[in-house]
Amino acid sequence: MQLDVVDVVYRITLTNKKFYKRTMAAQRVSVLFLLGTVTTVSAFQITSVETKIGTINGKVENVTWFGETFKIHKYFGIPFAEPPVGELRFKKPVPKSSLNKPLDAFNHSHACHQVTIYKLGNVSTDEDCLYLNIYAPERQSENEKLAVMVWIYGGSFMHGFSDIYVADNLATYGNVIIVTFNYRISVWGFLSTGDEYAPGNYGLWDQHMAIKWVHDNIAVFGGDTERITVFGESAGSASVIFQTLYPGNKGLFQRAIAQSGSIGAFWSINKNNPQNAQHLGSLAKCDTRNNEALIACLRDVPAQKLEEFVSEFSYGLLTFPSPFAPYIDGEFINYDQEHAFDSDNTLPKDSQDIFAAIDLMTGVISKEGSVFVLPMFGVMDPEHFLPNRTFFEEELVPIFLNTLYGEPVPRSVRASTTVEYTKWSNPDNEYNIRDEFVSMWGDGTFVAGLFRTLNKHATLSSNLNNTYMYYFDEEPDFTGGFAPMTWFKKLGHGEDIPFLFGFLHSGVTKEEFNVIPSPWEETLSRDFIRLWTNFAKTGNPNLPDDMNINWVAYTKTSQHYLHLSRNMTSANVKQYWNQRRAKFWTSLVPELMKTTCISAASCQRSLTSALIFLFILLKTLMLY
């Protein structure tokens, strides 16, 4: 269902035979009418709409879920940009010109070329891949306007495509229009030479163009252009935040939902993009001394050859994070994305203004860090992972910190992290150490970004009721998802996706992700959809479908959040989740990273200062 961070690192790990030689079996986890006309053909009804690019024909189907039957109008494979091929490779997308004839939008189109470390089944990839899909519930009257939700998929900016997200249940039960679309990823979406010849971020520009197409055309499908929400998960979530900061999106959407990801995480950026472009050029035997010549040469390299270079470990470009990821291009991203949401950092005013005006809902899952129980992060045998204290302190913590920050990391940061992620009631217990390893990765990689995003938005916004936080913690009955360890029972990264989409998937990845929900999971899925679509309709997850929860908005002082779980009541609205460790990553570690160990003596002084600071911080947080 979801091809994302965990899938990437897991499969890269399997590819890297140097670190992992044992293949591990992963268990994956209507009067009724729209604007236009409806006719019937042999297999299904056809519905037609007139868009700004021409006539588009879709199909009408029945959807039955949770004891209710709905009609839905589907339009698949609508081009929103010209094919980014030839001279358009490594350039911004060009808007799609008018259609020469009506488009039969009955079937999905190509997925974009990507890192091929997993099987796509019968899905074809191509550079001609900038298409979108629309799921529009049938309306009760022509005058009814439906809220619109535009989904951005994840995949570590390395792989993924829109067609695996089947939105029948989400659209019909939530009574909203869902749009999914493809955007360029990996080398095709993010290669950069750091100058005008290849600035990068073409995938982010694709996202922007898809959002603009929706804003300009969705009304004829029954959509309300004043109620458009962008939402996504993991790299899609980081993409959502990038879009909320881009001034060119002003007026194109009003709300955003960011699930398990923000900007600034180590996997969401790659400052070495130009060096990686040089490496790719050398592999392709291009002239790397001149960037203009380099890009001209790379435009002529067959797509299949580029795919080979980024998909085979031996070429040195199959790494995590992606060697081609968002980059500061001075246009789409004209701020320090790594530190954009730090408390002492100032964003450009136009980015601040659009970000503050957008209603935001964001959150994480309880055990995001389970995705890093992998050989490349020091865990050679995930299934039997039970580290002792010495291995944790001397191997696992340094690998973690070097992954997040690169080298060198001050000794004070290493010492403080070891102190923080030790259960002092029983510090040598291997099960405790394993739990703390998972928490460390989750907090440092996802929770820190969550609170930076929340606090920045709540601080900038003049509306005290347009920032919402959630925390999803349950133990699912279904087996699957992305953490392949049998000992892992909680929710891991990406396992909110089945709940949000009503446990539907395309069948493309059925062998890897075949989830059959239990009754309580179906009920929670219904609640998920109601909350998410409430927010899309009103900017308030409590309305218009009142669930008697009274989810209170987040502020820096109150820090309310909703604990998503089965059988939710108003008691699920809580305060101050995981604050000690959030402060550790958003306050203490940034200060410690400013220190530099010049000598053993200075390192000792840094360590002493760090421990004193940590003690004061922990005492302060006892107030929460």
Query: DSSP string covering 436-497, please?
Result: HHHHHHHIIIIIHHHHHHHHHHHHH-S-TTSEEEEEE----SS--SS---TT--S-BTTTTH
Count of Cβ atoms closer than 10 Å to residue 69 Cβ? 9
- The domain ranges of the chain are 30-340, 368-621
Count of Cβ atoms closer than 10 Å to residue 251 Cβ? 13
Average pLDDT over residues 616-620: 50
Average pLDDT over residues 325-343: 93
**pLDDT higher than 60, residue 50:** yes
Count of Cβ atoms closer than 10 Å to residue 213 Cβ? 25
Per-residue confidence (pLDDT) for residue 6, from 0 to 100: 45
Per-residue confidence (pLDDT) for residue 564, from 0 to 100: 98
Q: Is 187 in contact with 280 (CB distance < 8 Å)?
A: yes
**pLDDT higher than 80, residue 90:** yes
Tell me the percentage of the chain whose pLDDT exceeds 90. 77
Least confident window among 233-237, 434-438, 594-598, 619-623: 619-623
**pLDDT higher than 90, residue 356:** yes
Q: Is 526 in contact with 534 (CB distance < 8 Å)?
A: no
Per-residue confidence (pLDDT) for residue 43, from 0 to 100: 65
pTM of this prediction?
Answer: 0.90
Q: What is the DSSP letter of 95?
A: B
At the top level of CATH, the class of 30-340 is alpha beta
pLDDT in tens, 462-475: 888 999 999 999 99
Strand partners, 150: 179, 230
Per-residue confidence (pLDDT) for residue 125, from 0 to 100: 94
Q: Is 563 in contact with 572 (CB distance < 8 Å)?
A: yes
**Rounded distance between C-alpha atoms, residue 252 and residue 226, angstroms:** 8
Q: What is the DSSP letter of 142?
A: T
Per-residue confidence (pLDDT) for residue 593, from 0 to 100: 87
Torsion from C-alpha of 489, 491, 493, 495, nearest 10 degrees: 110
Per-residue confidence (pLDDT) for residue 513, from 0 to 100: 52
**pLDDT higher than 50, residue 177:** yes
Q: Is 116 in contact with 157 (CB distance < 8 Å)?
A: no
| pLDDT band, residue 32 (cuts 50/70/90) | very low
Average pLDDT over residues 487-508: 87
Per-residue confidence (pLDDT) for residue 506, from 0 to 100: 61
CB-based burial label for 137 (10 Å; 0-12, 13-18, 19+): buried
| pLDDT band, residue 44 (cuts 50/70/90) | confident
Per-residue confidence (pLDDT) for residue 303, from 0 to 100: 96
Average pLDDT over residues 419-432: 97
Q: What is the DSSP letter of 75?
A: E
**Rounded distance between C-alpha atoms, residue 416 and residue 241, angstroms:** 30
**Rounded distance between C-alpha atoms, residue 438 and residue 432, angstroms:** 10
pLDDT in tens, 96-122: 999 999 999 999 999 999 998 766 667
| pLDDT band, residue 346 (cuts 50/70/90) | confident
Tell me the percentage of the chain whose pLDDT exceeds 70. 86
Average pLDDT over residues 359-381: 95
Least confident window among 127-141, 216-230, 595-609: 595-609
Least confident window among 147-151, 266-270, 355-359, 362-366: 266-270
* Residue 121 backbone phi and psi in degrees, to 5: 60, -130
Per-residue confidence (pLDDT) for residue 603, from 0 to 100: 52
Helix (H, G, I), strand (E, B) or coil at 140: coil
Give which of 203, 201, 208, 135 is closest to 166, Cα–Cα: 135
**DSSP notation for 544-610:** SS--S---PPP-TTT-EEEEE-SS--GGGEEE-TTHHHHHIIIIIHHHHHT----SHHHHHHHHHHH
Count helices and strands (H / E) in the chain: 19, 16
Residue-averaged pLDDT of the chain:
88
**Rounded distance between C-alpha atoms, residue 405 and residue 407, angstroms:** 7
Instruction: Provide the residue count of the chain.
Output: 624
pLDDT in tens, 530-547: 999 999 999 999 999 999
Residue 587 annotated as catalytic: no
Residues near 289 by beta carbon (within 8 Å), at least 6 away in sequence:
none
Fold match between domain 30-340 and domain 368-621: yes
Helix (H, G, I), strand (E, B) or coil at 300: coil
Least confident window among 76-90, 236-250, 580-594: 580-594
The active-site residue, picked from 48, 234, 239, 366, is: 234
Helix (H, G, I), strand (E, B) or coil at 238: helix
Q: For residues 516 and 138, which has the higher predicted lDDT (pLDDT)?
A: 138
Average pLDDT over residues 8-17: 47
Per-residue confidence (pLDDT) for residue 478, from 0 to 100: 79
**DSSP notation for 176-223:** -EEEEE----HHHHH---SSTT----HHHHHHHHHHHHHHHHGGGGTE
Fold of the CATH domain 368-621: Rossmann fold (3.40.50)
**pLDDT higher than 70, residue 357:** yes
